[in-house]
């Protein structure tokens, strides 16, 4: 597998020297300053590529090109924005970048309530506390009809939890939930967030799924023409938040997406931690089923708690058997190589490392994307890969 590293560009506190020191050879990046649906200028793409290649690295994957909200809700504006999206695909192909990750999550991107959950190791992890989330949704945001999203027992738990939280803790939870995590497309205050949610009042899972299928029918022919592999990232977490539909969460969702436009250019970003946050997802089974359409992999692990909360575990711990995931992916690489596929090597990156050692206390840290935790994770994952090469694929 191609060992890659997410890099947020020249302003990232983790430098390209650090990327090389971690042992990665590929970079996962994007033009994060352009998030409003406009086409990415080829000149800007080439400049980012030049910076990466000047350090002896390769820009292997784009993560992500934002999908404008008009496409998700199916408004008349979507024709203009999908046209710009196609222009960006063509520009990236012209620059020689052929793997493009994107997501179709409405309003909010990846979501956590706690960005510094202290572990027994004394490191810090990202955490989603299901009761804190419900308390915010029901009693702080006061979303209209929020009660319909929760059981009576969960509402009672949330009300009790709210009484335990200080004003400072509530403010921190709100910032974490709606102010924007790394690579999210928008940040909100509570009023603008309610307005964004209202745009989905008439959008349920069927409507959102129809709009995704329309989007795929528009862009995948362009990707085919340009030799580009599109790969959709799953919902994180893979269940409804704020009453919003989420349609990239289960094995059935993945089957629908791949069948919507049955093309090698229409593939998956297989994020182990996202799919793995649902106990009913058989992760190893899904990897095997979708292997030939997996174009990019995020390797991370989560521990799910009894109340539906979860936190980011060590890369080789948590609820997913990471060794068997890597074995299945590397077996797929062997199969592709025998078929003569040019894209036989699957790019991967270690995702959401713990905050460890000298990174603790630094003021310029992208939550989940500190150096040392991901370096440790990549080293552990690399060890599994070497063992598979030596003992299983030799």
Catalytic residue numbers, as ranges: 233, 271, 298, 351-352, 369
Phi, psi of 219 (to 5 degrees): -95, -30
120 vs 123: CA distance, rounded Å: 7
Round to whole Å and give the CA distance between 10 and 40: 17
Q: Which residues of 183-207 are buried (b: 16+ CB within 10 A; e: fewer)?
A: bbbbebeeeebbebbeebeebeeeb
Phi, psi values for residue 261, rounded to 5° = -140, 100
Distance CA 165, CA 146 (A): 20
**Residue spans of alpha helices (H) in the chain:** 16-21, 42-53, 69-73, 78-94, 130-135, 152-164, 167-178, 190-198, 205-226, 251-260, 272-275, 283-289, 322-339, 371-391
Cα 41 from Cα 73, distance rounded (Å): 26
Sign of the dihedral defined by the CA atoms of residues 248, 252, 254, 260, in that order: negative
Query: Tokens representing 391?
Result: 């003992």
Nearest in space to 393 (alpha carbons), one of 328, 341, 322, 316: 328
- The neighbour count for residue 32, using CB atoms within 10 Å, is 17
355, 115 Cβ separation under 8 angstroms: no
Length of the chain: 394
Distance CA 74, CA 84 (A): 16
């Amino acid at each position: 597998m191609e060992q890659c590293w997410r890099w947020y560009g020249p302003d990232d506190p983790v430098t390209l020297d650090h990327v090389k020191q971690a042992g990665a050879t590929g970079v996962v990046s994007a033009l994060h300053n352009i998030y409003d649906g406009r086409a990415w200028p080829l000149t800007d793409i080439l400049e980012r590529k030049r910076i990466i290649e000047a350090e002896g690295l390769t820009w292997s994957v784009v993560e992500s090109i934002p999908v404008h909200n008009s496409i998700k809700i199916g408004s008349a504006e979507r024709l203009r924005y999908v046209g710009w999206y196609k222009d960006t695909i063509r520009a990236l192909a012209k620059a020689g970048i052929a793997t493009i990750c994107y997501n179709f999550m409405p309003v909010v991107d990846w979501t956590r309530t706690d960005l510094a959950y202290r572990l027994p190791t004394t490191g810090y992890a990202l955490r989603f506390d299901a009761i804190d989330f419900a308390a915010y949704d029901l009693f702080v945001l006061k979303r209209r009809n929020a009660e319909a999203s929760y059981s009576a027992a969960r509402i009672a738990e949330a009300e009790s939890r709210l009484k335990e939280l200080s004003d400072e803790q509530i403010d921190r939870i709100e910032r974490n939930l709606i102010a924007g995590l790394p690579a999210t497309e928008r940040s909100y205050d509570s009023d603008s967030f309610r307005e964004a949610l209202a745009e989905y009042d008439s959008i349920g899972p069927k409507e959102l799924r129809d709009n995704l299928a329309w989007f795929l029918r528009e862009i995948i022919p362009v990707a085919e023409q340009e030799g580009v592999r599109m790969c959709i990232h799953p919902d994180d977490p893979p269940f409804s938040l704020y009453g919003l539909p989420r349609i990239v969460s289960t094995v059935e969702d993945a089957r629908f997406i791949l069948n919507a436009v049955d093309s090698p250019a229409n593939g998956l970003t297989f994020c182990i931690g996202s799919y793995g946050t649902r106990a009913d997802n058989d992760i190893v089974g899904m990897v095997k089923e979708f292997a030939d359409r997996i174009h990019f992999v995020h390797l991370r692990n989560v521990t799910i708690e009894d109340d539906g909360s979860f936190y980011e575990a060590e890369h080789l711990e948590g609820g997913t058997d990471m060794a068997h995931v890597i074995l299945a992916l590397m077996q797929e690489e062997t199969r592709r190589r025998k078929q003569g596929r040019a894209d036989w090597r699957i790019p991967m990156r270690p995702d959401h490392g713990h905050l460890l050692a000298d990174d603790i206390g630094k003021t310029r840290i992208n939550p989940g994307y500190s150096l040392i935790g991901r370096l440790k994770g990549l080293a552990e994952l690399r060890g599994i890969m070497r063992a598979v090469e030596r003992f299983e694929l030799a």
